[in-house]
Structure 1
Amino acid sequence: MNRREERDEERRREAQSALGRVESDSETVGSSSFARVARQTRDHFAAHDKQGESDRIEVWGSRIGRAAGLIFTVALVIYLALAYL
């Protein structure tokens, strides 16, 4: 490869890298915050972070524990609202 082809290849790689950054940034800005938070919440309660685990009991335990925590939190908020408002 001669010097000119090397420079062209380097510029092409830089351009591809810049386009990749622009695409990832625009995806973050372009999607609504509500949709992103809803997707993260759904993934959290579905225990997507535990999907790679080989132990299915741990995955289901995480799902049950997270659902129980949500139910407890909602019940506590309702109790406190009724008791002190």
Structure 2
Amino acid sequence: MSTTPRSTPPRSDAEDRRARALEEIEHAAAGSEVFGTSAFVRQARRASAHFSGADADPADRIEVWGRRVGRSLSMIALVGLVWYLATTYL
């Protein structure tokens, strides 16, 4: 009597693709809620840190306020440009 383990029958190409597709769907479903929520929260934190001047040296208050004012003015200019382009060309 032979003691070699029995091999499983080989799966067809269609079965392999189906198994991989199901694994990918499960993986995407598991990470979709966490990704969407965390991406939104991460972006909100980045925006608030960007406009508050958090990337400047905290000891130099002039630099912090300069960044805040400059970034706020650039946002106002962007909104004004979008408004101008929308009213002119739409």
Q: TM-score range by the shorter chain?
A: 0.5 to 0.7
CA drift of 1:33 comes to 1.0
The aligned length equals: 58
Q: Which amino acid aligns with 2:69?
A: I
Corresponding residue to 2:61 among 56, 60, 72? 56
List runs of 5+ in structure 1 lacking aligned partners. 1-27
For residues 71 and 50 of structure 2, what CA distance do their matches in structure 1 show?
8
Is the radius of gyration larger for structure 1 or structure 2?
Answer: 2
For structure 2, which runs of at least 5 residues remain unmatched after alignment?
Answer: 1-33
Aligned partner letter, 2:88: A
Write out aligned runs for 1:1-85 (5 A): 29=35, 31-50=37-56, 52-85=57-90
Identical columns (%): 49
Deviations 1:27-62 (A, max 9, x none): x85852111111100000001111x34221111000
Q: TM-score, normalised by structure 1?
A: 0.60
